Structure 1
Amino acid sequence: MTAERPAELLAFLLDAFAGKGRNAVKSILARGQVSVNGVTVTRHDHPLLPGHRVAVSWTKVADESRFFGLSILHEDDDVIVVNKEAGLLSVATDKEKEVTAYRQLMEHVRRTDPRSRIFVVHRLDRDTSGVMMFAKSERVQQQLQNDWQDAVEERTYVALVEGQVRDAEGTIRSWLKENKAMRVYSSPKPDDGQLAVTHYKTVKSSKDFTLLEVSLETGRKNQIRVHMQDIGHPVVGDKKYGARTNAIGRLGLHARVLSFRHPTSGRTVRFESKVPPAFLRVFKE
C-alpha cells in the first residue's frame, strides 16, 4: 500500500483494514508484521509521508525473540495471557528488577502506546512454569481479583512428585501459615491460618515418581508444594519443601490450564500449556 497523504501509521492501518478492529491492527504492529519502505516498524505514531510504501505480512509468525522466558498466548484490550518458563520471575524482587515477566510485558504494551500499563492479577513462583495472566487496566485487575473465586472456572497444574502415590485421587485440606523465614506450613490447629484445599489425580506413576494433575479450590502461596510435602510426596526439585531429588533439573510444577470468565465479554475463555517433556522423560525405561 502507498500513503497518499501525511498520517500516523496506526491511523493509516485502521483506515486500510477497517474490518479487522483496532486491537487486531495494534497487535500486528506490535508483532513486527508491518514495514514502511522495507523497514519493520512497531510504533503506532510512526509518521507516514505521501509515497511511503506500507507492507503487512499476514503470515509472519509473531516475533517473540525480544521476550526472555515467556511467550504470549492471548492478548486483547483487557488481559494478556502468557506461558512463563521456569526460572523467570513474575514480578521484581530486591535482587532482580529487570528480567521479569511484568517488566517485559510492560515494555511490550508500551511499544504501541507509551501510556499503556499492565497490572498483576496472580503470580507463579519463579521455578514454576505455565499459564499466567496480567490485566491491562487497574479496573480489570480489581474486577478479577475481587471476583477471583467465581471468575476462575479451572486452574489446573501438573506436579511431578517423589515416590509412588498410592491413591488414584484425593483431596488435601489444611490451614496455611508463614513463618519469619518465609516458609509456608500447615498449622496443626483447625482454623489457624488460611484455608487451603487441593485436589489431585494420578496421571502416571512408577516406584520413584508420580505425575499428578492438581486442581486448586483455593490459591494460597506455595499451596501445592506444602500439600505435597504434607502427604509425603514432595515436588521433585523442591528442596525447600522436603525434596531429596532433582531429577529434571528444575521444580516439577507446571500451571497447565487457566480458564476464567472474561471480565468484559463475560464469556468463558480457556488457555492451556503442554506438559514439559522433562516431566514425562523420568518414566521412560
Structure 2
Amino acid sequence: MGQAPDSFDPDHYEADVRREENVVEVTVPSTETSGPRIDKYLVRFYPEASRTKIQRAIKKGHLKVNGADVKKSYPVEPGDEIVFRLIRKPPMQAEPEAIPVDVVYEDDDLLVVNKPAGMVVHPAPGHRSGTLVHALLHHVDGGEVSADDERTEVSEEDVGLSMVNALPEAPDHPVVRPGIVHRLDKGTSGLLVVAKRDRAHRPLAEQFKAHTVDRRYRAIVWGHFSPPNGTIEGAIGRDPHHRQRMAVVPDDEGKWARTHYETVEAHAHTSVAEFKLETGRTHQIRVHARAQGHPLLGDPKYDGQRIRYGTQGGAREDFFADLFDILPHPALHAYRLGFDHPTTGERLHFDAAPPPPWRRVLRVLRQGEGEGAAGD
C-alpha cells in the first residue's frame, strides 16, 4: 500500500468516496484486494490526522462497515460500504467574558494588569474559558478570536487587542493569545503588560528579548539562601525524570538562564526573597530556587507542599497543611514591572502588593512556624 498524498484525492484510490467536513463515506473498489486494516485504510482519506486519532474515533463507535460496528483491525474487503466520522475538537477560541480584571494602567496602546493567582493567561487545551484573554476582550469591548481566523484577515480593530503572534503557529499548537506579550504561570500573581495595538506589541516584545524590562518578584521559599544574596545560573530544560516539569539540565540540553536573588527577611525555616530575571524561561524562578534546595512554599509541582526544613509531622504538619489551604499554589508574586512606553519612549514603573492570601501566610510565618494556628 502506498503512502497517502499530501492532500485528499479520492480518484487516487479509484473508490466511490464522498467526504463532507469530518465524515467520509467510501465504497471499497474491487481493486482493493490486499485486505488492509480499516484503521490504516482510513488514513488515506484523512492525511491530516494520525492513525492514533482514527483508532480513538473507531473505539468510540464512529465507524460503520455495511451498517455494523467493527474493530480497528477489521480487514477491508471489496464492496464494503464504510461510513466514518473523525472526532474533531472545536477550534481554540476566545470570546469576551465578564470576568473582573485589575487594570493598573491603560492608554490607547497598552494595558498593565495585575493578574490573580489561579488564572491562566490565554486559552489553550484544557483551558478554553476563564482566562485573562477572555477577561481582557470584555474589558476592551472586543470581538471573538478563533484559531480558525488564520484563514481570514482579523485585525486589532476587530478584536480590541494586538493580533501579533495571536494565532496558532502550527496546527498542533492551537493557542489564541491576542495582546499577550509575556506570560505568568497560572499560580503566579502579579503584573503583566498587554498590547492593544500591533504598533505597541513589537517594540514591547523587543524589550523583553533585549532583557531591558525590569521584572521583579517576591516569593516565600523554604529555608535560607546561602549566601543570602546572589545569582543562580543554569540551563533549564525538560526534567528527564518528570516530563511534566522543568529542571536545571546540562547546557546543551536546555536554554541558558540567570536569576538574581536577594533575601528580604528570614524566619525559622522559611524566608522571603526578591528575584530579578535576566532571562525568561519556563518556570525559571521555581526551577532555580528548587535547584538550590529552596523550593517555593506551596509549589505543588516543585516539592513546595511538604515540610522541607525543621520538625516533621505532628502539629507542625497540620500548621503547614493549613497554610497550603490558604495558598494552594506557589507563593510567587510579580510585584514590579518597568519598561519603555513603545510609542512615547517614557520609562514606566508599576508596583503591586502581593494578594491577601499571600500576605496572610506571611503574617502567620512571622509569628512562628508551627507554634500558632494559621489564622488572622
Please report the TM-score for the alignment, with normalisation by the length of structure 1.
0.71
The structure 1 residue matched to 2:181, chosen from 106, 121, 126, is: 121
| Matches for 1:118-197 after TM superposition, within 5 Å | 118=162, 119-150=179-210, 152-179=212-239, 181-187=243-249, 189-197=250-258
Q: Secondary structure at the match of 1:73?
A: strand
Structure 2 distance, partners of 1:146, 1:270, is: 18
What secondary structure is seen at the aligned counterpart in 1 of 2:201?
helix
* Correspondence 1:42-121 to 2 at 5 A: 66-68=98-100, 70-110=101-141, 115-118=159-162, 119-121=179-181
Q: C-alpha displacement at 1:175, in angstroms?
A: 0.7
CA distance in 1, matches of 2:158, 2:236: 41
CA RMSD of aligned residues (A): 2.3
Q: Is the 8 A contact 1:83 1:130 kept in 2?
A: yes
Query: 1:273 aligned to 2:340?
Result: no
Residue pair 2:142, 2:159 contacting (<8 A) in 1 also: no
**2:333 aligns with one of 251, 254, 273:** 254
Distance in 1 (alpha carbons) for counterparts of 2:234 and 2:332: 20
Corresponding position of 1:206 = 267
Which structure carries more relative contact order (alpha carbon 8 Å, separation 6+)? 1
1:72/1:82 contact within 8 Å kept: yes
Letter matched to residue 99 of structure 2: F
Q: Which amino acid aligns with 2:125?
A: D
Q: Larger Cα Rg: Structure 1 or Structure 2?
A: 2
User: How far apart, in 1, do the equivalents of 2:278 and 2:361 lie?
Assistant: 24
Stretches of structure 2 that go unaligned for 5 or more consecutive residues are: 1-97, 144-156, 163-178, 308-320, 369-376
Q: How far off its partner does 1:262 sit? A: 0.7
- What is the distance in 2 between the residues matched to 1:103 and 1:210? 35
**Quick one: distance in 2 between partners of 1:204 and 1:110?**
43
Structure 1 contact 151–261 (Cα < 8 Å) conserved: no
- Alignment partners' CA distance in 2, 1:186 and 1:151: 21
Tell me, yes or no, if structure 1 residue 264 matches structure 2 residue 346. no
Distance 1:240 1:153 in 2: 27
8 Å Cα contact 2:189-2:354 kept in structure 1: no
Judge conservation of contact 1:165–1:205 (CA < 8 Å) in 2.
no
CA contact (8 A) 2:211 2:278 kept: no
Output the amino acid matched with 1:91.
Answer: H
How big is the shift at 1:122?
A: 0.4
Task: Give the match's secondary structure for 1:147.
Answer: helix
Deviations 1:84-122 (A, max 9, x none): 111111111212222111111012112697652241100
Task: Name the counterpart of 2:22.
Answer: none
Q: CA deviation at 1:268?
A: 0.5
Question: Match of 1:249, SS?
Answer: coil
% identical equivalent positions:
34
- Aligned-partner Cα distance in 1 for 2:142–2:122: 20
